Structure formats: C-alpha cells, structure tokens
Chains A and B, each alone.
Chain A
Amino acid sequence: MPEAPPPTIFERSVAGRRAGRLPGLDVPEAALDSLIPPELLRAEPPGLPEVSEPELVRHFTALSRRNFGVDNGFYPLGSCTMKHNPRINERAAALPGFRGLHPLQRPERAQGALRLMHELGSWLGEIAGLDAATLQPAAGAQGELTGLLLARAYHEERGEGARRTRVLIPDSAHGTNPASVTMAGYETVKVKGGEDGGVDLEDLRAKLDESVVCLMLTNPSTLGLFERDIVEIARLVHEVGGLLYYDGANLNAVMGISRPGDMGFDIVHFNLHKSFSTPHGGGGPGSGPVAVRAELEPYLPRPVVARDGDRYLLDDDRPRSIGKVRSFYGNVGMAVRAYAYIRTHGADGLREVSETAVLNANYLLARLRTLFTVPFDRLCMHECVLSARDLKRRTGVRALDVAKRLLDFGVHPPTVYFPLVVDEAIMIEPTETETLDTLDTFVAAMAQVVAEAEEDPERVTQAPWTTPVRRLDDARAVKRPVLRQPAGEAVGVGA
C-alpha cells in the first residue's frame, strides 16, 4: 500500500517557526509609514508558510520522492527526447561567472558569456545548415512565434504582408504550432497526411497559393518518419513565395546526417532541452533558439551578439528587427549547458547521438511490432508510433491503460494519443542514452501488459497499483476546482 500523501508546506506551518534569518537592520530605523505613503502599505502580511529549515528540506525531499525523472528510470516519452542530463553541464552553468552574471553588466566585462553565445549560435547555424541564429526565445513555442514574426517581417518588406495570412500545418503537428499561428495573428490551414505518413502532396498543392506565409513542418514528423518528399515540398512552397519553417522538436534524429537548411527550410527552431540535453525541470525551463537564412537575419530579435575582431558585443541597433520576445537575451543558463554538450561531442559525436537514437527506436519498433499495430510499416527515425487499436478491439484495453500499467514497472510511459492522426497512438522515443538491457526490459514489460490485457484486462484497466497515488479524478479537479490551499488553512493549522 502506498504511503499516505504528505501534507502541503502550508499544512506543516506552525506560527513562530522560520528557516531563513535575515541580516538585522543596520541603518537608522524609520517608521514604515514615513518611508512609504500609508495608503500603499499592506495591512496584513501574506500567509506564507512558517517552517524551520529541517522541515523545509524534509518536505521538498518527500515531494521529490513522489516524482520520476530520467535519473530514476526509462522515460520514452515520444516527442520529448528525455535523454540523460550530463552533470558537468550543471556544474558549468553554476560557475559564478555564468550564474552570477548580471544581464546589464557591461559587455566588455561579459566577454566569456558573449563569446559562448556567439559560438553556440554559429554551431546551431552549422547544425541547421543556416546562416544566423538567435538564442532569445525561451522555449520551442516561443521559437515558433519568433519564426512566424520573422516570416511576417520578411513578407512585409517585400510588400506582401497584407495578402499573406495563412500558415499551413500538417494534421500531425504539435499543438504549439497552431497556437503560435494564432498568437502571430495568422490563420491555420491543415494539410492532410498521405498514405505513407508524409505530407499529402495533392492536398498541399491544393492549399498553396500566394496567401501562404509559410509551411510549418516537423521532419522527421511526429510519426517518427522522415519526409521523403521534402525537396519537392520545399520547391512547391517556395514557388508561391512562401517560407518553410522547421519545428526542431525532432532534430535528435538527424544531427550531422541531414540539415534542415539543406532540405530547403528557411527558419528552424531548436529545443535545447531536447536535442542538447538540458534538463526539463518538471516542465521547464527550456530554450528555443532560432536559426535562419541570411535574408531573414536582419529581422532577428534584438540585441544580436556580434563579433568585432576579438571582442564580442551586443548589437541593439537593429532597425528591421521584430523586437524582443523575451527580456534580455533568453535562457543563457540553458545555452551554457547546450554549449558544453556540443563541445563534448564534436561533429562525430553528435552524429553518433542521432545514429544511436535512430538505432534504439528501430530496435524497439522491431521488437514491439508483433504486440501492437504498426500504422506505417517503414523504418522509423528517432521515435516510433504504434497503435493499440487492435488491442482495444480485442480486449477493451486502451493506449491509456497500457500507459498506466507501465507505471507499475518503473517505466515512464510513452506519449499516448499523439499524434492525433493515429488512433490509440503510443509514441515511443527511447533516445540514444539508454542501454540495450533497458530496451529489452521495456519490451518485456510491454509484452506482459499485452498478455495481461488478453487474460486479465482489469489488471491493466485498473492500473496503476503501486504508484504513490492511483488514477486521479481529472473531472473533479475542474468541476470543483481547488487551485490553491484555501486561505483560511494557509497559515498555522498545524502539522
């Protein structure tokens, strides 16, 4: 039986306890209302928890024990690239010269950071096969918004801003793509997938005209399949004056093997927290640099890190820039980690990363194909998408149930129900950092779950059994929302 849930930090609070001790007042004491107009003063202090440091440390340690990271075990969450997070990268980012560097420090006293940013930008450009890059976007979705605004600036300067309003997106795309299109003020037009899992060229041709801003594409697609018609797709989009946008979520498949710029893409966003190993932190921070062709460089967010001989500087005199998407220069701390990662690997190492990621995914596909339905019978790239459609028809066990039962095996389940174009989708991305033993253990767990589905489906449909909590009531969380500790309970209700 799982342990009882820990109380919240507010429920641990006891009036009079505290962890932090601040310096005493070492300047002349003045009444607060002589420093601040009384109408601006707070009447009652906010009800923050009152705990001692031992309680604080125990509490958050207890919470961490109810969490699962890639440090804990296999995490084949498709589209999320949950690879190992090297610890040297953490140490590098924690060096005082990076961690304690103020963004407004004069550039001549931030040369190490600026050099790192400049080099990382040029390496990302080389990996993408493009000419210039910005590190400013805070995450992939912000990279998408940045890319769309760059496309708009490009079309506007060519006098085509008003007529280009539609962004084409395959039906298999990440949800952030259409959401970013809306943020940019454009209209999303869906392009159908073809029989082989790629873009349906007929449908694409039918939707291409001079109102198209760009086509946003993930390659390999969210089905884990390389777009074999990519050259023709690029030709068609460029023929009508549109741009080609590369969602870099799946870049881990092709580093050093094929470059988006060589495929014909004009704008690429990277997810440093996917391909370049920066930790996901339970949902962030990420980092979403964007690389572009030379024609789009003038529009990059300002400032741009520039080089003048041996000196690096922040160029803020960028009259054609789209402006800023985030304060200062982006998540530089994540750039430090990604820089260390690329520096560790070099060219051959990055290619081996992608080769191994693709090897591992194909191995799982080969071993799992008899257990589940394979919607597209091709070699996959860095991830494979299976379907529990037939399993469900036979046994009533759904992809969700398979995922929940896997929790009992100490495995984080694959992504399920995405991409939307595959019924009962199970999307598996093992990444390159796993051992063969881990892959085999996962296959054995999947086989056992399928066997249970046939023999004792309740074992699966009622899973998980061993996790700190079992299936949770999502509907209740919406019907009777409790999104914070009720105010009355917030302070001093005892541990």
Chain B
Amino acid sequence: MSTEAGAASGYLSITPDERARMLEAIGVPSIEALFRDVPEEVRLRRPLDLPPPMGEVELADHMAALAALNTDQDSELSFLGFGMYPHYVPAAVDALISRGEFMTAYTPYQPELSQGTLQAIFEFQTSICELTGMDVANASTYDGATAAAEGVLMACAQTGRTRALVPDAVHPEIRAVLATYVSGRDVELVPVPMVNGLTDPGAVEALLDADVACVLLQHPNALGLLEAAPRIGAACESAGAHLVASVDPLSLGILAPPSAYGAQIAAGEGQPLGNPASYGGPTFGFLACRTEYLRRMPGRLAGETVDVDGRRGFVLAFQTREQHIRREKATSNICTNHALNALAGVIYLSWLGKAGITEIGRLLVSRARYLRDRLALVPGVSIPFPGAHFKEIVVRLPEPAADLQAALQQDGINPGHPLGAHYPGMDDHIAIAVTERHPRAALDRLAQALEARYA
C-alpha cells in the first residue's frame, strides 16, 4: 500500500533507507503496520481521485495559465470598489511580510521566540487606537464584516439588550455576515431605511428604545456617503444604546474618529491598508473599543510586560477571555486571526505616517469630487445622492449599469460596481471608487467614455 519510490514531492525529507531504520526503531515491519488502529472497513483501498502530480516547473506554468484567465485590477482601468479597493501596496510591505520569520511562525504562544510578532501586534493595536480614538484594539479579525458582527455581539452582551439597529446603508456583505452570526443568539436585527442614500437619523431616533443594544453605523456608508454620525451618536447616548462604527481606515486622516461622535466600538475592513484584494481575501478586520469593553473583546491582545531580568517584552494578555482557556464561556470562538495581513497593515500605516494619512484622505475625497462633478455634466448621467462622500461615488445612468459595465470592459475600462443586485430599484446606479492610483487622466478617460456612449 505504501509508496515504494522515494519522496513524491521535494517537501519530504525521509529517504527510503532512513524509513527502514525508523520502522525498525519503532518496532513495526511496515508503514502499513503503523495504521493498524484504523479499522479495515474505513480504510481507503484505492488512490484518491485527484489529478496527477506536477513538478514545480509545470505547476508554475499551470498556475500562471489559470491566473491569466482573470482580469485583475491592473489589466483594465478599474473603478471597482464597494468594499474592496485597488489601493497601492508599497514594496516595503511585501518585502517585510514575506520574511520567513514572520510568515512561517505560528500564533505567539511561546513569547520568548515570538517577540517580533508580539511587538508588531502591539504597534498595530496602537495604530488602530490612534486612527479610531478608541482605548483598546485587538490583534485583528478575519475581515470587516466579522469585525462588525463581533462588535454588535459585544454591545448586546455589555448592555444586556437584545436588539441592534442595522441601517440598509450598511454594506450588504456586513449585513449578511451579521445576520448569520446572530442567528443562534437572542439578538434581533432591525433595519433602518435609507433616505437619499443615507441612514435616516429620524428613523434611528424613532426606533431607539430601552431594548436597543446598539446601532451599527457604517461611515462612510456602503454608497460612499458620510452619515450624520454626530446626531446618531447623540441619539444613542440619550437612549442608553451603544454605537458600533464601521469605518474606512484611510478616511481617518480627515474624518473625525469614532470616539468623537460617541462610538464605544469601532470596526472596519483593513484591506485598504497594504493588502491586495485577492478575490476577497485574506485581508483583515480591525476591532477597537473603549476600556470598559476590554474583557468582552474577542481574539488576541498583545500587552507589554517585563521578563525576569527586567527587560521589556510583550505577551498575549487577558487570555482568559479566549477559547483555549474559557472554552464554551469564551468571548468568541475566534482562534486564528489575520496576523500577517495586520502586519501588512501596521507597516503600511508606518509607511504612510502622520502626514500621509491626512494627505491621502484629501487626495481621495478631492479626486472623487472632481469625478462626481465631471460625470454630472455628462448628458443622461445624474447624481442621485447629493450628500458628502469620501472616495466612492454613486451615479445614475440612462441604462442598466450592468450594460455599461459590459460595454466599457470591451475597451479596457471597468466603470465600477452595478448596485441593482444589492438595492432594489438601483439597476441604473453604479458605485465608482477612486484611489491614489487613479490620476486625473484616468478620471477623464472614464468621463469621456460615458460622454461618447451617451452622446
């Protein structure tokens, strides 16, 4: 049964001769004998039905051929956003996170050998606290959607209340994941309608009562628009409800941090911070909170301490919240997080720096406004939502947005994401994202393509 030839891949290191010596040391006659505890009736007595093996040379070509069937963000002029953005990833980020000492390490359970990961987490936590104005940030979650879902569960546990207001203007992916996360819990999600692309603050005020644990506010929202965050924060405060803010980290150089409008919890998708889209992942989520929430925080936290010689060092702190200690009483089941993606995040934020985070915010909002103003002049195109935006705008077209997308992609332009699948009645609406990688000429090219089509 066992393979006769030597190692089937170059990843195994035991020669046939060594194998024989090892079997002898174990005291069994064959590899087969090692599996004597596996009952015959559950043994697989045929090879798995898998394609034949490939050496690295053929595999490299095979993977390249598969990749070539995809149109990536650099093979066309892409304005796709709606939750993931083609921001620039600095070369230093890729170089540093590729170091094997980071990439091939496990969770830092042995802190003496893991000071690099632990200090990087500590610096990541600090950066997220600086951005959001919160007191405590964890080491990361899987993505922005699970971060928001964990935030809502934290607020329900903390307030002892069972309802969460979830505006329609929150990204549909976040709403879908949140609905799954609360499906086994005594938590009711209450939608809040949208007016002019914005969460209706009057509706929030009307829905807030003594049973509402929190409002989940995305700001900028799924349509790229800036919400009436201070008014909604104040409404939460007077109703004794908490505010969970889901934010774009790149907006926080110019937009007020969640702490400024009364949020107790801040969550968000970290992809814009040095992480490629990778067809949706892996990226990372961040989750931050005020101190009173510390013991309800899910996931890992790095803390500073000293060693027996008094030297500064870092450890995983407050592990008694976590599943490997608390089991069914843990704050969450999260174990693996997205440490390497969060490392990319903290390197990116250090690359950008204090000046850069503000500059990039200005650049993005200015370019998005330029494009919005430019597209408003295209015959047949209108701006359905007049409110202030950050880096993504929505325009209304004189045709289904999917038709425009299919047509423009023929000419190497992906004009953005059609919204009809997410919002009824918005078949002719398209979300257009702008980044630092979209110079004015690119914006003009999109506008000219629309002018040509609708002339």
Contacts and interface: CB of A to CB of B under 8 A. Distances in A.
A282 B102 contact: yes
Nearest to B15: A436
A46 B42 contact: no
Given A77-B106, A262-B44, A326 B281 contact: yes
B137 interface: yes
Interface stretch (A182-190, A202-210, A237-245, A449-457): A182-190
Interface in B98-137: 98-117, 119-120, 122-123, 125-127, 129-131, 135-137
A471 to B, nearest CB: 5
Given A40-B226, A109-B71, A110-B70, A103 B50 contact: no
Interface in B1-45: 2-3, 7-9, 11-14, 18-19, 21-23, 25-28, 31, 34-39, 41-44
B333 A331 contact: no
B168 to A, nearest CB: 17
B7 A226 contact: no
Nearest to B25: A366
B119 A97 contact: no
Contact of B104 (A280, A346, A351, A438): A280
A348 B31 CA distance: 14
Contact of A324 (B96, B106, B123, B176): B176
Interface residues of A, number: 210
Contact of B177 (A20, A97, A327, A482): A327
B339 A281 contact: yes
A294 interface: no
A423 interface: no
Contacts of A329: 279-281
B157 to A, nearest CB: 11
A179 B101 contact: no
Given A100-B276, A283-B337, A66 B104 contact: no
Interface string A19-37: 1101101111110100111
* Interface of A: prevailing SS: loop
- What size tier do the contact residues of chain B reach? 35 or more
B350 A326 contact: no
A148 B47 CA distance: 31
B286 interface: no
A491 interface: yes
B117 A282 contact: yes
B38 A69 contact: no
B102 A281 contact: yes
Interface string B134-148: 011101101111100
Contacts of B353: 17-20, 48-51
A138 B332 contact: no
B102 A20 contact: no
Contacts of A138: 142-143, 146, 281-282, 336, 338
A185 B182 CA distance: 9
B336 A95 contact: no
Contacts of B65: 112
A283 B117 contact: yes
A322 B183 contact: yes
A413 B110 contact: yes
A282 B114 contact: yes
Contact of A19 (B13, B114, B179, B350): B350
A343 interface: yes
Interface string A110-132: 11110110000001001101000
A1 B54 CA distance: 48
B174 interface: yes
B324 to A, nearest CB: 4
Interface in B333-376: 333-341, 343, 346-347, 349-360, 362-363, 365-367, 369-370
A327 B173 contact: yes
Contacts of B125: 483-484
B424 interface: no
A395 interface: no
Contacts of B74: 96, 100
Given A9-B123, A50-B354, A139-B335, A71 B100 contact: yes
Interface in A44-79: 45-51, 53, 56-57, 59-61, 63-72, 75, 77
A182 B318 contact: no
Contact of B112 (A98, A178, A471): A471
Contacts of A59: 350
B440 to A, nearest CB: 4
Interface in B47-62: 47-56, 59-60, 62
Nearest to B249: A46
Nearest to B114: A67
Contacts of B12: 352-353, 356, 432-433
Given A8-B123, A490-B130, A102 B173 contact: no
B99 A61 contact: yes
Given A48-B353, A283-B139, A412-B113, A92 B336 contact: no
Contacts of B445: none
B281 A285 contact: yes
Contacts of B100: 69-72
A111 B69 contact: yes
Contacts of A343: 51, 53-54, 59, 62
Given A281-B103, A352-B7, A476 B41 contact: no
A231 B40 CA distance: 11
A105 interface: yes
Given A98-B279, A126-B50, A182-B330, A69 B9 contact: no
B224 interface: no
A254 interface: yes
B230 interface: yes
Given A57-B96, A344-B56, A69 B180 contact: no
B449 interface: no
B254 interface: yes
B211 to A, nearest CB: 19
A379 B37 CA distance: 8
Contact of A5 (B98, B140, B313): B313
Contact of B18 (A273, A285, A403, A436): A436
A462 to B, nearest CB: 8
A381 to B, nearest CB: 8
Contacts of A418: 324
A23 B436 contact: yes
Contacts of B301: 483
Interface string A239-255: 00000000000000011
The 7 closest A-B pairs by CB, nearest first: A185-B184, A97-B67, A328-B280, A281-B340, A71-B100, A112-B69, A67-B116
12 contacts: A32-B365, A40-B256, A64-B96, A178-B323, A282-B117, A355-B2, A359-B22, A363-B26, A470-B112, A473-B306, A478-B303, A484-B137
Given A346-B53, A360-B14, 6 more contacts: A69-B104, A93-B278, A95-B64, A258-B42, A343-B62, A347-B48
